[in-house]
Structure formats: structure tokens, C-alpha cells
Amino acid sequence: MAPSPEPSYAAGLVWFRRDLRAHDHAALYRALTQCRQVHCVFVFDREILDLLPRADRRVEFIRESLVELDAALRALGQHPHAGLIVRHTIASDAVPALAQALQVQAVFANHDDEPQALQRDSRVRTRLAAAGRAFHTFKDHTLLERSEVLTQTGKPYSVFTPYKNAWLQKVDAFQLSSYPVERHAHRLAPRPLEHCQPVPTLASLGFETTALSQPRLPTGASGAQQLFNDFLGRMERYDDTRNFPAIKGPSYLSVHLRFGTISPRRLARTAHRLMQQGNPGATTWLSELIWRDFYFQILHHHPHVVGHSFKPAYDAIAWESGPEADALFAAWCQGRTGYPLVDAAMAQLNQTGYMHNRLRMVVASFLVKDLGIDWRRGEAYFASQLNDFDLAANNGGWQWASSSGCDAQPYFRIFNPVSQSEKFDADGKFIRRYLPQLARLPAKALHAPWLARPLELQEAGVVLGKTYPHPVVDHDSARLRTLQRYAVVKAG
């Protein structure tokens, strides 16, 4: 093996953001191979945190994961003062200031293509450049990004299946391989004494403990590893189990992908290998990882999707507004629509910060096509509640449900919340878990309590309008109104 080239810089700084792990980390690897000494920093960015409620599961997840990351860096550096510098301030001010204090020649970070992040990075790049320092960023959060997968005419894909086929043709062993951080970890620098403080407590950040969710969500790289090990034993059945919310079907790794506590390369490498061996579940799960890349490249090439429909014609739709619409939106948020599967799904979200993917489609369709409420209101509520909130995927999912996005479901495809309930939670196990007030209803009556016989309701202790609400809308009537509402885009 040829010797590694001599490092270009005397010292560098790795800025961790949505990549909270020490292994198989693109920016960390690049810094370690290009710098003789490497410092590491994470900034609790007040531009983001100051807008959040004081109890936020995601802040707690980040904080717990940083404790583990700090320990991992200290172990890799094999020095008691190695580890993570953690700041709580404005990131675009802190990073250039820390680069000056540490006298580094370059800052290394991984790409973040969200619009606010790009603006932040532009400010940081400008300030670093003014001081004669470089700012290098790398692909790490996705497998293939930005313009790596284009049509034969050099345009970005707007339909998933051809994108997926091109993705599978382009991805190779190199892109799926890990960055050997450990090989160069001896270049991790000891922190200056003034930066050797432990990771701040939640209280010192101004946040309250949330317990994340019940059962407790495992955090950090070790939590991601625990979930992935568990999923490996179930992955072959993923194609069959993924649609049933009462079954342990998903990987539950979405929040770990969001905050980078596990490498997407590792996940895709495993799924790709198993797919080639004919594993049906791995084939479907890899497709889900490709969807993730797809939505990120849509955000990169079409940033107008933040706040606007991917298909501009859909911005002409007249959504319901006013006090009645606000009351319906509140009922949806609080799980009081009178449709048990919708309400149970919202209860799961509100209680745990997680919602099963099938249910995300059901509740989104219900808000947009049963209640006639602008998809952007639902997108914003999900953004405030989901542990795994990721702008690209959240926006893509909501635009898919509202038919306004790329490769979205047709506008006339409207989920029936009762038939979805009967199909995907037939015995009502999921509904009973999150709506205990309906637990004693027989399965046939559970999906549409307003159609239950009076004796069934009485024996179950259900009083419609008191212990459980009447439906806030009639689905069949709402479907007709939706078709009329979408008439302005029939040609689209």
C-alpha cells in the first residue's frame, strides 16, 4: 500500500452538524488525512434552538448522542484531553471565532442542503475566507447527492422509478465503502484546557427533560447499532410487515439517519448485498433509502418546494380557511377527528415523536383531502413534532400526499381512512394501544364507531360525542369536495 500523502494543513477543525458519529465520517476522515492536528466542534446553534419549545425530544436526542460522540473521540485520540468542543451560541459566529482561537488553516464539514443551512454555511465561508482559512464540505448524509444522478440530457429526475434505476446503475463499491477514520485517529488533537468542559446539560441549554419517548429511544451510535442489529433479523420480512403499524416491521432508524448517528453507507451496503442475494425485504428497504436520496436531490434542484408546490399549478388550489378550518386542524393535531386510525396515529406522534410511515400517508391524505386544509399546515406540524424531522423527506412526503409534488399520487387518489384501518390494523391492536377509550369495542366496530350498534357502544363504555368524538367530516362528501377543489389542476 502506498504511504499516505503529507498533510496539507498544520491544523484543521471538524464541524459536526447532522453527522453525530466518529466512525465512517467523511469530513472527519478528510480532515485527518489533510491535517497534522484535528480539533472537533459541535455548536448548539441558538438561531435554531431559540425558536424551539423548552421541551423538545430532538434536543435531548442530540445532547445524549453528543455525550457518546465525545467519548468516542476521546477513545480514538487516546488522550484524556481529546474529545469534542461543544458551544451554545450562534454557529456562524462561533465557528470562525473558534478557527481563529485554535489557529487552524481549514474547517471541514459535511454537506447540509437545507436552505437555511446553505445561508449559514455561506456566511461561515465568507468569514473564514476573509481570515485566509479554507472551508471544505463533503457528501456524507446521502449515498448519491445533488447532481450525481441525472437523466441522459443532464436534467434532474422528477420521477422516482427512473431515478432509482439510474441510482442502482451508478452506485458502486467505492460509494458504499466506509471512510477508515480509525487509521488516522492519532491526529486528533487534545483540546485546549479552556475547551475541556463536558457536554452541556439540558438544563444549562435551557431545555427540560422529555424522556424522549416510551419506550425510551436509544440514542447515539450505540443506539443506532442496537436498532440495526435488531432489524437485521427482521429485514427479510420487511416487504410484508412494513405496512402494519401494530407489527414490529420498520427499522426505526429514521431519527438516527436524520442526526447521522449511523452511516447511510453502512445501511445501504448491507441492504445492497442482501438484495443481490435475493432478499425481498432488503430490496424494498434499499428502495426506501433511495427515496431519501431522491427527495434530497429534489430539494437541491428545486428549492422552491420549501413553501410552494413542486408543480406550480397546485398553488392555485383554494384551501379551507377561517375559524371552522382552524377548528378542524386543531382536531386533527390533537387526534379528535372521530376516525380511529387517524386519531391513534396522531396520538402516537404526539406522545412519542414517531409515526409509522403508512400512517403518515393516511393522516396527511385525511388533512388535505378530507378536511381540505393546506398541506403546508400539516408539514409544519410534523416538523414541530417528529423526532426524525428532515426538511427534504417531510416536504416530499406531504407534497406526495397532496398530489402537488414530483411523482406524487394522482389528485383523485384519496385514502379512505376506514378501509385503510380495516386493511392495515384489522384486529385494532394499534388503535387500542393509543385510543384506550375504544379498547373494548369489537374489531368490526372499532374502525368506524359511529356505525356500531348502540349495544356495542354501551357494552364498550363508548359515548360518542363524550368519550370519543363523532366524525368531524363525512368521507364520501369530502371526497366529492376534494375532486371539485382540485378541478383547477386537472390538466396538470
Residues annotated as catalytic are 288, 291, 319, 357, 375, 398
Cα dihedral 432, 438, 441, 443 sign: negative
Bridge partners (DSSP) listed for residue 468 = 464
H or E stretch at 353: none
Distance between CA atoms of 171 and 474, rounded to whole angstroms? 47
Distance between CA atoms of 167 and 164, rounded to whole angstroms? 5
Distance between CA atoms of 306 and 113, rounded to whole angstroms? 12
Buried b (16+ CB within 10 A) or exposed e, 8-41: ebebbbbbbbbbbbbbbbbbbbbbbbbbebbbbb
Q: Is 230 exposed, middle or buried (0-12, 13-18, 19+ CB in 10 A)?
A: middle
Buried b (16+ CB within 10 A) or exposed e, 238-275: bbeebbbbbbebbbbbbbbbbbbbbbbbbbbbbbbebb
Q: Which of 460, 415, 451, 434 is nearest to 352 (CA)?
A: 434
Amino acid, res. 441: L
Distance between CA atoms of 349 and 367, rounded to whole angstroms? 15
DSSP string, 411-453: TT----HHHHHHHHSTT-HHHHHH-GGGTTS-HHHHS-GGGS-
Q: In 215-279, which residue ranges form alpha helices assigned H by DSSP? A: 220-232, 238-241, 254-259, 264-276
Distance between CA atoms of 241 and 235, rounded to whole angstroms? 9
Say if residues 242 and 286 touch (Cβ distance below 8 Å).
Answer: no
Going by C-beta distance under 8 Å and a sequence separation of 6 or more, which residues neighbour residue 77?
83, 185, 186, 188, 189, 190
Distance between CA atoms of 429 and 54, rounded to whole angstroms? 33
Cα radius of gyration rounded to whole Å, the chain: 24
∠ at Cα 126 (124, 131), nearest 5°?
Answer: 95
Label the pairing between strands 9-16 and 106-110. parallel
